């Protein structure tokens, strides 16, 4: 099968889990024998057209106008990228069987190319939603615009893929309006290649020497944005420091909330036990996670929680918020410990238990790692994606997209 992925991020240009997802899926599909092409944005120093591990990767520079990547210019920035993606897709030598769009940022490019290739089905993965990120609200015109594009893409697509039962319910609530077929939305989990997530003993020992030699080490890995919940961890640290002598905390990642989180650490008087590392290269990130006495994932909103799989692959005990897809992988007391999202006291309780009962934590970590092999291998998930493609092709052209939808203002869309 000929597959064309459209993704605004692809390694080495990665903002979050979406880029890693597309990368792993594309290579797993190529390994199965599919002809896979990815169109993405150009990153410095990368070839504009290359075959990498069986995948053709076409990287395009933005069309004019030149714009900063910020909130004020986001929609125009996206349209400039999509214009370049469309032009690259129009000259492909072979017509794809499936155009696979990843999130709203490539919606216009995906619909345009599906129209240009009339026999191609359109499959879209909704990795997250704008309303979901804001707990059901659309706080301003930008959010309203993004939500309208998501709504359009869902109804233009022959099939939708989501990564968890939580996201299935979210998409149905936000976009279905009784207009989607029962089989329009398919749940296919994120996956992980365990062989790529390893850390040497010497690298782990070096991390322990740097961060955690005096006591327990808690680690947070992720984008520094409100929905990832790092503020909940920082708020819990005064309690945890009293309970866990010698505690050290590493917060690895970058994002718009970085300065706010560092300021919060100073206000809570815990800045001296936290290291903000910013972005880390992959080998350092692996060693950090493997060295953790607990990997804390305090997300307020989490469609899946790929970092939980990465932590499990590296043997880190998991302490996670009971939210979204995280709750589907981390079973309390079996594959990790779970706490109420945003509940500082409950996070402190779960993290303390994880540190103080290290034997139980290690056993849970082993169980979590075993589950990766049975349910989260990319070759398995690529097969499930192929089944969705086949169904999309069988029903190709039967979608009836509604007119552009204007979301109501001042309404919580997940509670309405």
**Residues 244-285 pLDDT 10s:** 999 999 999 999 999 999 999 999 999 999 999 998 988 999
pLDDT at 399 over 70: no
What is the structure's pLDDT at 193?
Answer: 86
Report residue 151: phi and psi, to 5°: -60, -45
Burial category of 235 from C-beta neighbours within 10 Å (exposed 0-12, middle 13-18, buried 19 and up): buried
Joined together, the tokens standing for residue 97 give 């069987």
Joined together, the tokens standing for residue 78 give 């996206």
> What class is the 2-191+378-394 domain?
alpha beta
When pLDDT is averaged across residues 162-180 and rounded to a whole number, the result is 86
Let me know: does 191 contact 304? Beta carbons within 8 Å: no
Q: Scanning the structure block, which residue is given the tokens 């001296």?
A: 272
CATH 3.40.50.2000 intervals, the chain:
2-191+378-394, 196-375
What is the structure's pLDDT at 195?
Answer: 83
Confidence at 16, pLDDT banded by 50, 70, 90 = confident
Question: How many of the other CB atoms lie within 10 Å of CB of 66?
Answer: 9
Tell me yes or no: is domain 196-375 CATH 3.40.50.2000: yes
Confidence at 11, pLDDT banded by 50, 70, 90 = very high
What is the structure's pLDDT at 176?
Answer: 81
When the pLDDT of each residue in the chain is averaged and rounded to a whole number, the result is 93
What is the structure's pLDDT at 41?
Answer: 97
What is the structure's pLDDT at 60?
Answer: 98
Q: How far apart are CA 214 and CA 208, in angstroms?
A: 9
Q: How far apart are CA 189 and CA 388, in angstroms?
A: 13
When pLDDT is averaged across residues 181-195 and rounded to a whole number, the result is 87
Q: How far apart are CA 93 and CA 31, in angstroms?
A: 21
CA-based max dimension of the chain: 64
pLDDT at 226 over 80: yes
pLDDT in tens, 305-314: 899 999 999 9
pLDDT in tens, 119-135: 999 999 999 999 999 99
Let me know: does 378 contact 24? Beta carbons within 8 Å: yes
The angle at the Cα of 257, spanning 344 to 131, to the nearest 5 degrees, equals 80
Where residue 182 falls (left for φ over 0; alpha for ψ -120 to 50; beta otherwise) is alpha
pLDDT at 400 over 70: no
What is the structure's pLDDT at 180?
Answer: 67
Classify residue 332 by its DSSP letter. B
For the whole model, what pTM was predicted?
0.90
More confident residue, 177 or 368: 368
Q: How far apart are CA 27 and CA 37, in angstroms?
A: 10
What is the structure's pLDDT at 393?
Answer: 95
Angle of helix 17-31 relative to helix 306-313, nearest 10 degrees?
A: 70
- Which of 288, 299, 295 has the alpha carbon at shortest distance from 309? 295
Exposure string for 364-384, b = 16+ CB within 10 A, e = fewer? bbeebbebbeeebbbebbbee
- Which of 331, 338, 340 has the alpha carbon at shortest distance from 370? 331
């Amino acid at each position: 099968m000929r597959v064309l992925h459209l993704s605004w991020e692809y390694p080495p240009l990665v903002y979050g889990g979406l880029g890693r997802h597309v990368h792993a899926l594309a290579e797993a599909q190529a390994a199965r024998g599919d002809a896979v092409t990815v169109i993405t944005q150009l990153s410095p120093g990368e070839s504009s057209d290359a075959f990498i591990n069986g995948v053709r990767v076409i990287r395009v520079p933005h069309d004019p106008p030149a714009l900063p990547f910020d909130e004020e210019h986001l929609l125009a920035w996206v349209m400039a990228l999509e214009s370049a993606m469309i032009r690259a897709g129009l000259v492909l030598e072979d017509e794809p069987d499936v155009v696979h769009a990843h999130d709203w940022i490539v919606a216009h490019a995906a619909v345009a190319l599906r129209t240009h290739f009339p026999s191609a089905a359109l499959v879209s993965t909704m990795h997250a939603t704008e309303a979901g990120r804001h707990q059901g609200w659309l706080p301003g015109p930008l959010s309203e615009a993004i939500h309208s594009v998501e709504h359009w893409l869902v109804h233009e697509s022959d099939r939708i893929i989501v990564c968890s039962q939580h996201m299935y319910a979210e998409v149905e609530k936000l976009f279905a309006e009784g207009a989607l077929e029962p089989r329009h939305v398919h749940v296919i989990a994120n996956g992980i290649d365990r062989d790529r997530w390893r850390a040497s003993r010497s690298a782990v020992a070096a991390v322990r020497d740097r961060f955690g030699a005096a006591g327990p080490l808690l680690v947070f890995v992720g984008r520094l944005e409100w929905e990832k919940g790092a503020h909940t961890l920082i708020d819990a640290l005064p309690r945890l420091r009293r309970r866990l002598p010698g505690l050290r905390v590493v917060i690895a990642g970058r994002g718009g909330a970085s300065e706010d989180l560092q300021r919060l650490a100073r206000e809570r008087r815990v800045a001296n036990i936290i290291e903000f590392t910013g972005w880390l290269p992959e080998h350092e990130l692996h060693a950090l996670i493997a060295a953790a006495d607990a990997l804390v994932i305090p997300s307020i909103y989490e469609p899946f929680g790929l970092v939980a799989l990465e932590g499990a692959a590296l043997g880190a005990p998991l302490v996670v918020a009971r939210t979204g897809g995280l709750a589907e992988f981390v079973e309390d007391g079996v594959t990790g410990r779970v706490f109420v999202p945003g509940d500082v006291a409950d996070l402190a309780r779960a993290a303390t238990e994880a540190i103080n009962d290290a034997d139980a934590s290690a056993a849970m970590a082993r169980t979590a790692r075993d589950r990766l092999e049975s349910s989260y291998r990319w070759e398995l998930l690529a097969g499930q994606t192929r089944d969705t493609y086949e169904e999309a092709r069988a029903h190709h052209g039967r979608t009836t997209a509604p007119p552009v939808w204007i979301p109501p203002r001042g309404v919580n869309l997940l509670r309405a």
